[in-house]
Amino acid sequence: MSMFINREIEIEELNEIFSSKKAELVLIYGRRRVGKSKLLIEAIKNKRALYLLADMSENILEILSNQIKDKFAKFSNWEDFFEFILKSDYDIIIIDEFQYLYNINKAWPTILQRWWERLKETNKKIILCGSIISTIYRIAKGYGSALYGRKTKEIEITPLNFFAVRKFLRKYNLKDSIKIYFILGGIPRYLEEIDTDKSFEENIKEKLIRKTSFLYNEVENLLFEEFRNSTPYISILSAISEGNIKFNDISQVSKITTNKLSKYLSILERVKIISKNIPVTEKKTKSKITRYKIIDLFYRFWFKFIFKNKSQIELGLNEEVYNNISKELNSYFGFMFEELCKELLLPLGILKLSKIGKWWHKDKEIDIVALNEDSKEILFCECKWKDNVNVEKIIKELIEKSKFVPWNNEERKEYFAVFAKSFKKKISSFEGKKVYCFDLKDIGKLLRK
């Protein structure tokens, strides 16, 4: 299955760039498999554009010249290449995976910088697209990098939201679509692996815990490509996936000393594999309350279930591994349900959100707290991946916990919500408090709007 779904905003942004009356130097980046190349190819349809794909080959100039259908495109050096770009009839020039050019020739960004002084006097649009975020940061994002201050636009291509993922999986019922999303996230290339003519269980067995499958070694391959030494990052991510979410716990389990761990965690944050979190009502980061979590959904699943079972899978014990995984999946989906509910709150429109996140203090924790800091409105939300939920019991406990949340306590307006697969009985208020109940049917209705 190959589909192009839900990139209207990005297409619109690119069309604005393409129709600009001046030269543009645009950086487009995002994690591998997120659909950047497909987006660009879609965006340049029926336009006078040149699409070039770089790689790590030593003869890259020859490879690039062969991609151009022009007898004059013969490059003996980078000066020839940029001279051709300057004089060509192409309005749009895309260099995909451009970070490889830096790996081959560390001077490449400086060469581009020098030629940009001439190119910016034209109306050409130079689009640099890349996947290896740590390298891109050195080339184009970090202060002092060759392209810092020269880029005219910067676009990050992020994973699809659940609304778009549902279109990929339209043959599946809503519950199975949600479960696939919890595992693969919104990465188009991964979603293309799913055979919607087969059951959820068959897809897990065939696409994830079969050692010949594309997804089986995917995370290790990505980490190896992103980092020269992936070992410490694997140790950190494995520790977090097992519930070690505090700095000292991660250090202890990963066996990485605290003075080195800070740097590794910062890099993982920069490449958007993990996030560093504090309770949503806090204004200042305090080390004692900081928690880390894996925000890339596929990384999270892979480390939780595939990585720790690799030795068994290598021995061919796939059925045993699946049986073990299946026992933990419902609990895992309960944790993941919070992520989906956060995504749904904005389109549900209960209140205008200025901030959303988790709240915790000592032994008390609330799945989602959403704030409108201007109107002093606050929404407390619990998420239960269960059927026949007793909402009154949940709300009663939630109201008690909300009293410990220190945020405009004397003047705030409070709302309460519960998400679940289904409820025994929905309610709209409890002890004078406004209550919202959302089940899978409500989520289905929201998707159909």
CB 190 within 8 A of CB 184: yes
Q: Are 381 and 417 in contact (CB under 8 A)?
A: yes
Is the CATH number of domain 164-336 1.10.1760?
no
Mean pLDDT across the stretch 278-296?
A: 91
Banded model confidence at residue 69, pLDDT cuts 50, 70, 90: confident
Percent of the chain residues topping a pLDDT of 70: 99
pTM value is: 0.94
Average pLDDT taken over every residue of the chain: 95
The count of C-alpha atoms lying within 13 angstroms of the C-alpha of 187, restricted to the half-sphere facing its C-beta, is: 21
State which fold the 8-156 domain adopts: Rossmann fold (3.40.50)
Task: Label residue 360 by pLDDT band (50, 70, 90).
Answer: very high
> Under CATH, which number does the domain 337-448 receive?
3.40.1350
Q: How far apart are CA 52 and CA 54, in angstroms?
A: 6
Strand partners, 438: 419
Whether 1 has a pLDDT exceeding 50, the answer reads no
CA 106, 110, 116, 118 torsion-angle sign: negative
> Per-domain residue ranges for the chain?
8-156, 164-336, 337-448
Q: Could you report the per-residue pLDDT of 390-448, keeping only the tens digit for each?
A: 999 999 999 999 999 999 999 999 999 999 999 999 999 999 999 999 999 999 999 98
* SS3 assignment, position 240: helix
Tell me what the mean pLDDT of segment 213-223 comes to.
97
Query: How many angstroms separate the CA atoms of 234 and 223, rounded?
Result: 8
Contact 64, 54 (CB under 8 A): yes
Confidence of residue 106 (pLDDT cuts 50, 70, 90): very high
